[in-house]
Structure 1
């Protein structure tokens, strides 16, 4: 399922979705957390991205593992494989931090988009915002490191 589609590695097809959705989730989650007056307007986007980003990160991670297995089976060794190992580690971290950000974003949206007049206590709102901000920063960092290490593994360094 995660290996190939018509002879093309699934990883090459789906990694771009993660590269788009993970930063979008981070951006929307941060705005949702720090600009309460925009919450009714962007809550739907936060919920959709909180589901889509971890799913795309997971598919990219799993398809990357299949591609890795294929490369090892073809006899790849040495420095190239070490670069791919580093890329794989960053990809795994991207998935875990994106999953955590998605869960935190869902929790925050469900607790703040209630239709009742009872509001979330200020301390809880601030705590959730801090958690979302930290997870957004970590997700953004790791998606960048994953993409950069993947590009370096494929295209090589210029320095």
Structure 2
């Protein structure tokens, strides 16, 4: 399922969804947390991205593992494989960071978008803002590191 489509590695086809959705979730979640008056207008986007970003990161991670297994089975060794090991580790962290940010965003949306929802106590609102800012920063960092390490593994020099 995560290996190939018409002979093309699934990873090459799906990784760009994670590259777009994870940072987009980070931005929308931060705006949602920091600007309460915009919550009713962007709540739908926050919820959809909270689902799409971790899902796309998961598919990219799983398809990357299948591609890695295919490369190892073909006899790849040495520095390129070491670079792919680092890339794989960053990809795993990207998935977990996106999942955590998605869950916090869903919780925040559930607490604030219900018709019967009352404004959150100031301490809870500040706590959610701090958690969202931290998770958004971590998600953005790991998306960058994953993409950069993948690009270096494919296009960088082996010296």
* TM-score using structure 1 length: 0.97
**Residue segments in structure 2 that go unaligned for 5+ positions in a row:** none
Partner of 2:105: 105
Partner of 1:119: 119
**Residues of 2 paired with 1:136 and 1:157: CA distance?**
31
**Residues of 1 paired with 2:157 and 2:111: CA distance?**
46
**Residue segments in structure 1 that go unaligned for 5+ positions in a row:** none
Q: How many residues align?
A: 159
Question: For each residue in 1:8-67, what CA deviation from the matched residue of structure 2 results, as whole angstroms up to 9, or x when unmatched?
Answer: 000000000000000000000000010111111100000000000000000000000000
Question: For each residue in 1:58-83, what CA deviation from the matched residue of structure 2 results, as whole angstroms up to 9, or x when unmatched?
Answer: 00000000000000000000000000
**Residues of 1 paired with 2:44 and 2:149: CA distance?**
33
Query: How much has 1:114 moved relative to structure 2?
Result: 2.1
Query: How much has 1:116 moved relative to structure 2?
Result: 2.0
**Residues of 1 paired with 2:118 and 2:153: CA distance?**
52
**Residues of 1 paired with 2:117 and 2:104: CA distance?**
22
**Is residue 79–residue 158 contact of structure 2 (8 Å, CA) maintained in 1?**
no
**Residues of 2 paired with 1:44 and 1:112: CA distance?**
12
Partner of 2:154: 154
Specify whether residues 117 and 93 from structure 1 end up closer, same or farther in structure 2 by C-alpha distance, changes over 3 A only.
closer
Partner of 1:56: 56
**Residues of 2 paired with 1:157 and 1:20: CA distance?**
26
**Is residue 112–residue 118 contact of structure 2 (8 Å, CA) maintained in 1?**
no
Query: How much has 1:157 moved relative to structure 2?
Result: 4.2
Query: How much has 1:118 moved relative to structure 2?
Result: 2.4
Aligned positions of 1:1-159 closer than 5 A: 1-116=1-116, 118-157=118-157
* TM-score using structure 2 length: 0.97
